[in-house]
Chains A and B, each alone.
Chain A
Amino acid sequence: MSSDWPLWEVFIRAKGGLSHRHVGSVHAPDSEIALRHARDTYTRRMEGVSLWVVRSADIVASDPSDDAAMFDPAADKVYRHPTFYTIPDDVKHI
């Protein structure tokens, strides 16, 4: 077992109205220090207006070896896209 501090994933909201996006991770012993580290590591150049840190161990990720089963079923459902439907050119705003 590593004696490293736990890993935290860092999410930044670049500006108001945008969602938080993952930017990287930091090690820290608790949430408060994780937030400080994240601030020092990832927002030194006005990268954002809000920070989230989440313990990496709390993230549940899909297994890449399952990606076909997870995502391929969407591939043959082209009718979910508006371009699937042919609308005459003279019909506007649709």
Chain B
Amino acid sequence: MYTTELQKTAKVASTEDPDKLAAFEARVAADEFIEPKDWMPEAYRRTLTRQISQHAHSEIVGMLPEGNWITRAPSLRRKAILLAKVQDEAGHGLYLYSAAETLGTSREEMIEALHSGKAKYSTIFNYPTLTWADIGAIGWLVDGAAIMNQVPLQRTSYGPYARAMVRVCKEESFHQRQGYEIMMAMAAGTADQKRMAQDALNRWWWPSLMMFGPPDENSPNTAQSMRWRIKRETNDELRQKFVDITVPQAGALGLTVPDPALGWNEARGHYDFGEIDWEEFYSVVRGEGPVARERMQARREAWEQGAWVREAAAAHAEKHSRKQEAA
């Protein structure tokens, strides 16, 4: 899965040692990796902490729309696959929390920020999964968009984040293929199944395009993040790439992308596509997504209901270490 950088203002004004700052900028410009113990500007640390923790939160919340379908998957094969995928998302969340922790923010603080609603996560997970075809559409489109975003992040300038992305990308490729396979089965199925596949594409297409974040002219952090090599490609570049490879995939399924303005532009060598409803995007960012409240409620409940397990484990470890001391 994936995150969007959602913070609108990044203060770059700095009172930091200009020599250190210059050395840092030079290292990054030379494509060197920055590691946890290296000196880094505070704004770099803040931006990364925010981005990586948002990315982690997205993986964790991303389990909810799909977990919702595990018991209802249409066969044992599909159930095992979906379970494996959701399990991967949990793992991705953990890799990313660990990477964020190397920047000096504790796991507890990050989880608290998510549960209190202070931290953001990808807007895509605030849409409901209404039919089995949605699970196909999520794998194909949402994970497809995530891969598009995460591939360049394997070369992001912060070492622990880049290494987490290498693992994530490797694991992610099955996610997209299993989704496309579901879409193939539905699109080649009964008239009802094909209708469900088309309906899922209709509902997930635009939210998937929004996953790349606001347009470049409205993304004040992009320039700084590109300069620091946190980001390697802009939101609009990645969105265009995604449209270019996904439209023919929809064609192969015999499905129609729900955008009357969509068309191949010979001169540009890219697909033109219609205007994205940014009002909807910002309202979902503000927490007004169709199922935003349910998502956070489910997270908080899982956390609270799991408290006894954490407490029991801590009590056991404590008892065990006392025994060892006594021995």
Known contacts A79-B77, A79-B81, A94 near B144 by CB under 8 Å: yes
Contact B174 A81 (CB under 8 A): yes
Contact B35 A16 (CB under 8 A): yes
Cα distance, A13 to B180, chains bound together (Å): 39
Contact A87 B163 (CB under 8 A): no
For A77, list chain B residues within 8 Å (CB): 80, 84
Cα distance, A91 to B245, chains bound together (Å): 9
Q: Does A45 contact B (CB under 8 A)?
A: no
Q: Does B32 contact A (CB under 8 A)?
A: yes
Q: Does A19 contact B (CB under 8 A)?
A: yes
Contact A82 B181 (CB under 8 A): no
Q: Does B178 contact A (CB under 8 A)?
A: yes
Contact B245 A93 (CB under 8 A): yes
For A65, list chain B residues within 8 Å (CB): none
For B33, list chain A residues within 8 Å (CB): 16-17
Chain A proximity of B186: nearest CB distance (Å): 15
Contact A82 B174 (CB under 8 A): yes
Contact A50 B35 (CB under 8 A): yes
Contact A87 B174 (CB under 8 A): no
Q: Does B135 contact A (CB under 8 A)?
A: no
Which one of A16, A86, A94 has the highest number of Cβ atoms from chain B below 10 Å of its Cβ?
A: A94
In the complex formed, the residue of A with least CB distance to B159 is: A17
Which A residues between 17 and 64 are near B, CB-CB below 8 angstroms? 17-19, 50
For B163, list chain A residues within 8 Å (CB): 17-19
For A93, list chain B residues within 8 Å (CB): 245, 249
In the complex formed, the residue of B with least CB distance to A84 is: B174
For B140, list chain A residues within 8 Å (CB): 94
Number of A-B residue pairs having CB atoms within 8 Å of each other in the complex: 59
For A80, list chain B residues within 8 Å (CB): 84, 88, 171, 174
Total B residues in contact with A, Cβ cutoff 8 Å? 27
Known contacts A16-B33, A79-B77, A81-B174, A92 near B248 by CB under 8 Å: yes
Known contacts A16-B32, A77-B80, A93-B245, A85 near B181 by CB under 8 Å: yes
Point out the residue from A17, A18, A79, A85 that lies within 8 Å of B180, measured CB to CB: A85
Q: Does A90 contact B (CB under 8 A)?
A: yes
Chain A proximity of B324: nearest CB distance (Å): 13
Cα distance, A86 to B188, chains bound together (Å): 14
Q: Does B162 contact A (CB under 8 A)?
A: yes
Q: Does B195 contact A (CB under 8 A)?
A: no
Which one of B32, B159, B162, B177 has the highest number of Cβ atoms from chain A below 10 Å of its Cβ?
A: B177
Contact B35 A87 (CB under 8 A): no
For A19, list chain B residues within 8 Å (CB): 163
User: When A and B form their complex, which 7 residue pairs have the shortest distance between CB atoms, in order from nearest?
Assistant: A17-B33, A85-B177, A16-B33, A93-B245, A82-B173, A82-B174, A91-B252
> Which residues on B are within 8 Å of A, measured CB to CB?
32-33, 35, 37, 77, 80-81, 84, 88, 140, 144, 159, 162-163, 171, 173-174, 176-178, 180-181, 184, 245, 248-249, 252
> Which residues on A are within 8 Å of B, measured CB to CB?
13, 16-19, 50, 77, 79-82, 84-88, 90-94
Q: What are 9 A-B contacts defined by CB distance under 8 Å?
A: A77-B80, A77-B84, A79-B80, A79-B174, A85-B178, A87-B181, A90-B252, A91-B249, A92-B249
